[in-house]
A and B are shown apart, each in its own frame.
Chain A
């Protein structure tokens, strides 16, 4: 079974609109962390945002925020005021601290920002 599920293989969004990228995860570990990475066409992996399972507040980093719904096991990435440079692959990742402590990735969502 998939531990990280990203159900949107591709999305098209108009520039300056907000966009939500979905991520659901599966774990029974009480202590875990969730990450989002961006991979532009250049191939580099860029860290965007992190949410710990015990964090009380949703994480925010500039235009990025993480909509963390623990009961639903959902960790959606919200990008406000999208820009052309946001066009990239986006990956959700999880670390289960007590189980095996490794970081695994979802299959990703390709985001296209339209001018």
Chain B
């Protein structure tokens, strides 16, 4: 068990470019979340998956954001036509639903800077 892995750790991009982040959850975790966090704020829910099914995408999220979890294992989060307001830490977390308190295990995050 190597924990939740996120890549890259840092991403610097120019406004208008597309970016993609990857999350590898703890193996056998069936639920995966994506959150966005800005400095001094709490994690903001973006979307979550149960196995490969996307259960919900935040209504606050524009159509430029999309996420997949094609085989119920790793997940990708893509942001198209990035804007400066997308600059944030993007956190992935996973858990196994059905085992009690189902606490989230977080990755180290991907820090996105849009210039």
Contact = CB atoms under 8 A, between A and B. Distances in A.
A102 B57 CA distance: 11
Contacts, number: 53
Nearest to A104: B45
B101 A50 contact: yes
Interface in B94-115: 97, 101-106, 108-109
Contacts of A35: 101, 103-104
Interface residues on A, range: 20 to 34
Interface string B50-71: 0000011000000000000000
A107 B42 contact: yes
Contact of B106 (A6, A44, A89): A44
Contacts of B44: 105
Contacts of B105: 47
B41 A108 contact: yes
Given A102-B48, A103-B33, A45 B42 contact: no
Contact of B104 (A4, A89, A103): A103
Interface of B: 33, 35, 40-45, 48, 55-56, 89, 91, 93, 97, 101-106, 108-109
